[in-house]
Structure 1
Amino acid sequence: MKVEVWSDYVCPFCYIGKRQLEQSIKDAGFEGQIEVVLKSYLLDPTTPVDTNQSVYASLSKKYNVSEEQAKEMTKNVAERAKEVGLNYNFDIMKDANTTSAHRLAKWANTKGKGKELSERLLKSYFLEGGAIGKQDVLLSLVEEVGLDQAEAQEILKSNQFQDEVNQDISEAQNLGVRGVPFFVVDNKYGISGAQPKALFDQTIAQAASEAGLKPKLKMVGDAGSVCTDGQCEL
């Protein structure tokens, strides 16, 4: 069974939705049985790579409100993030062009580290204020997850893995995706946005049942006295 997830590394609801999906899979007992495939989506590919504009300034311009009003707008999002264990820090977040981040994530997939790098990118941006559009930050994160900086630098200097990113975006357009996060569960069910966890629970359970998946046993109680290989704990 497979769940495809379209998201961007500067989308606050994408990180929240990712956590909700992960928790639903864990709670249902399907860890290790469901493949989660992360897909690229660019909310604003025109964002300058060298920007230092704060998120508040960006929201102020986008919605024609004051920066103080923009700050108020983020409070509900921060509270929603806390519900899934994420402590967003909008005060230190800045705009970022995520094209390079997505290309590096595609490269990391070929090394078996795609999920690790994607998680690190999200954590850096939303919790640490990392400028994930800039090369030095990206190379530092690459190294943190055990990937080669020199190889990553060659990726950044080239246009490698851009086709893979574009393919994901094209697939999203064909599906009619207009915003992220967007989840496709086993090619049968679509979930738009970071919906309540109950909807993820219900959809995962339904798709798993149709796919014939059996949940893993959930152990209850403390370890009791047992006998193994002819010996008993007395």
Structure 2
Amino acid sequence: MWSDIACPWCYIGKRRLEAALAQFAHRDRVEVVWHSFELDTSAPVSTPQSAREHLAVKYGTTSEKAQEMQERMTGVAAEEGLDFRFDNLKITNTFQAHQVVHLAAQRGLQGAMKERFFRAYLTEGEQLGDTATLVRLAGEVGLEEDEVRTALEQQTHADAVRADEAKAYAYGISGVPFFVLGEKYGVSGAQSADVLLGALQQVWQEQQPLQLLATPAEDADGCEDGSCALPPR
């Protein structure tokens, strides 16, 4: 799943994917891998601009219209059990946070880290461009804080983030969330749980080996192991 932490629809898409997986009979055979995508690579680490002002400027609309957009988004999120607080949201650059998610993947904590960052950004108003904040949040999910701090100082996972973004470009991904199933099918946007479940089922069926509808009898004719014996006359 390609996503950006600064993307409200990505958090909603995460919840819908989880709902689809809960209904999928082969959930234990599915591995969810999070890939980096930055909606705005030039975003500042911090800005005095509110989320509403940012939205109004981005879409060339009024502050009132931007407020209405946020209220609609908040309502959609609530239907998925999420509490979006745009009034408290701090616009930031997410490049550093994506690096931490890559480190978490190496420690088997990628899903937990992604969830924590989404909630921190969209609900709790945390400043995710701040190194100390990222280190603290990473520690909450079980990462070693010193390791996180060093990785950010040395930009250890910067290339991994860029590689994800390059792969997204190669796939033709221009928006998130974007799901790639079995390296073959793409699903764009925060589709409903039913749509995602249907996609999972389709990919599962196509990847399974053929199943025999009937078992051949011992005397059934056929060629096997490089030989083709003729039946006796």
Q: Could you state the TM-score of these two structures normalised by the residue count of structure 2?
A: 0.86
Q: What does 1:187-198 align with in structure 2 at a 5 Å threshold? A: 187-198=183-194
The total of aligned residue pairs comes to: 209
Q: Does 1:83 align with 2:79?
A: yes
- Letter of the 1:155 partner, please give it: A
Alpha-carbon distance between aligned partners in 2 of 1:138 and 1:64, rounded to the nearest angstrom: 32
**Counterpart selection for 1:208 from 183, 204, 209:** 204
SS of 1:16's equivalent?
helix
Q: Does 1:153 align with 2:121?
A: no
SS of 1:37's equivalent?
coil
Match for residue 59 of structure 1? 55
Q: Does 1:101 align with 2:97?
A: yes
Alpha-carbon distance between aligned partners in 1 of 2:38 and 2:7, rounded to the nearest angstrom: 10
- Letter of the 1:127 partner, please give it: T
Is the contact between residue 46 and residue 90 of structure 2 (CA under 8 Å) also seen in structure 1?
no
What stretches of structure 2 of length at least 5 have no aligned partner?
A: 210-233
User: How many Å apart are 1:47 and its aligned residue?
Assistant: 1.1
SS of 1:157's equivalent?
helix
Alpha-carbon distance between aligned partners in 2 of 1:112 and 1:209, rounded to the nearest angstrom: 28
**Counterpart selection for 1:71 from 67, 70, 73:** 67
What stretches of structure 1 of length at least 5 have no aligned partner?
A: 214-234
User: How many Å apart are 1:109 and its aligned residue?
Assistant: 1.1
RMSD over equivalenced CA pairs, Å: 1.4
Task: Quote the sequence identity (%).
Answer: 37
Structure 1 residues 24 and 66, CA gap change in structure 2 (3 angstroms): same
Please give the per-residue CA displacement for 1:38-60, whole angstroms capped at 9, x wherever unaligned: 00001111111132432111012
Q: Does 1:114 align with 2:117?
A: no
Q: Which is richer in strand?
A: 1
Alpha-carbon distance between aligned partners in 2 of 1:14 and 1:203, rounded to the nearest angstrom: 18
Match for residue 47 of structure 1? 43
Match for residue 20 of structure 1? 16
- Letter of the 2:14 partner, please give it: K
Alpha-carbon distance between aligned partners in 2 of 1:116 and 1:188, rounded to the nearest angstrom: 26
User: How many Å apart are 1:83 and its aligned residue?
Assistant: 1.7
